[in-house]
Structure 1
């Protein structure tokens, strides 16, 4: 359970791809790249934005040479949240606790169904999570969408690289805030429905990994925001609110020093993406192709 608490803040990419509803309009970026340079508008040195996938199997994990080069030219690493804070486990556990036990919140039929899936996919009974919110259940199940025992993390790799380089490290939001957004984004009925749709979600995850490896952030965005996968409430709390918050914080960080931002790839494209938001503030944003 401690491992889950340390990693639960790194499931946003998976969770934002799972829900049904009406999506916002998309604004494409013309090039396929996970790495973007931000310059101009008074910046002495460029900064970089890299779109991560928060979990990926080791066989698909690779830090490209162009990413290593940009990282080496930066003096500060900025992650979404401080998920490697030693106190994160306690903070997340507190935020994920529920006032009403799942055994009382769920109908007998839903409880039995979710319990069966938990035991089959995660090897643990739902009873073990009785005092947690349903988002905790979804977090555990989401990790199992990947066909490997222990998915790799770009955030962990970058954090290790930053320590070795003695880089400054910063974050765009607090872990508690990230958990609050997560809990606001998904209703109980959505979570129950998605847990029951594990097999189809696993297929979708495989497709997203393929697009990620192709650096197709437009494809990822289209897939994740199509009408049958994401609703307006999920868009608001997982993308719109957070992207706007980040776009307000990033200029001061970039002005102070060259920064390497590592955030979920879904946050980059689209009319509400941070690339468009930074362009609107007067920055030159361009893809780094190689």
Structure 2
């Protein structure tokens, strides 16, 4: 026993290795401000490496951290919003879907260990979200390994203030406020893709982790634009415009900030960087 106590503690698990230079990182500077822009993935396999030396250095140099929302791990805040905006028991999904789509919904729910009956009271946006996240968790993706939660813990440990471009209420409101036909397109696309959801995310994460922004734009952004221009406008373009406005306001201040938002917002023709560049704000890739 004494011998056992004298054994050195097992070394902490080494962080997962990065691919090449790791994910893309951008910087926006003026005379007295430095803003780093980093695309995040909200759910990851624990084995995906992304914390490259340049990302670590940028994060360490920042005096404040910005996310889409300041409390990405606050499940307690989410539940009442879902109750309020995500359910319509008087109009079950079966009344909005064709018999074939209802059969697909049931099959998808069962594959995830639920039943179509459990999804029936949900509004289409919530059913779509549920069906898009569940197969990823089943395939070994973990929200706890997502970029925001890792960075949030680091920021808190270092005493860095955390801010959000949006509130959780606003995020839910954007989805819940989509017109019914747009929500149904979202649900139908999710049903069509649910069997390949993990494979698709693997492709997206691989592109993200190796800094291939063009592939990311094609897999994430262009597909959404093609499937539903209205969803693309609400979920990406309008929010990118709002965030570009807030970044311009930040630039008017001083200091160093590290900004991490979903990688899809930093890819494609209407990305945050594209919107800033159109206004004459210089955005550089960090090599």
TM-score w.r.t. structure 2 length? 0.79
**In the alignment, does 2:154 pair up with 1:161?**
yes
Moved more, 168-177 or 280-289: 280-289
Count of aligned positions? 256
| Counterpart secondary structure, 2:33 | coil
| Counterpart secondary structure, 1:59 | coil
Contact 2:174-2:234 at 8 Å conserved across structures = yes
Contact 2:125-2:186 at 8 Å conserved across structures = no
Contact 1:92-1:176 at 8 Å conserved across structures = no
The aligned runs of 1:225-264 (5 Å cut-off) are 225-226=221-222, 229-254=226-251, 255-264=253-262
Moved more, 190-199 or 239-248: 190-199
Alignment deviations for residues 144-177 of structure 1 (CA, whole Å, 9 cap, x no partner): 4432163421011111111111111111112222
Aligned mates of 1:197, 1:280 — CA distance in 2: 34
CA gap of 1:109–1:227, structure 2 versus 1, over 3 A, is: closer
CA gap of 1:279–1:110, structure 2 versus 1, over 3 A, is: closer
**1:219 aligned partner:** 215
| Counterpart secondary structure, 2:66 | strand
TM-score w.r.t. structure 1 length? 0.79
The aligned runs of 1:117-266 (5 Å cut-off) are 117-120=108-111, 122-146=112-136, 147-148=139-140, 150-151=142-143, 152-183=145-176, 184=178, 186-226=182-222, 229-254=226-251, 255-266=253-264
Which runs of no fewer than 5 residues in structure 1 stay unpaired?
A: 1-30
Comparing both chains, which one has the higher relative contact order based on Cα–Cα distances under 8 Å and sequence gaps of 6 or more? 1
Contact 1:101-1:132 at 8 Å conserved across structures = yes
| Counterpart secondary structure, 1:187 | helix
**1:47 aligned partner:** 35
Superposed CA RMSD: 2.5
**In the alignment, does 2:62 pair up with 1:69?**
no
CA gap of 1:158–1:227, structure 2 versus 1, over 3 A, is: closer
1:256 Cα deviation after fit: 4.7
CA gap of 1:209–1:37, structure 2 versus 1, over 3 A, is: same
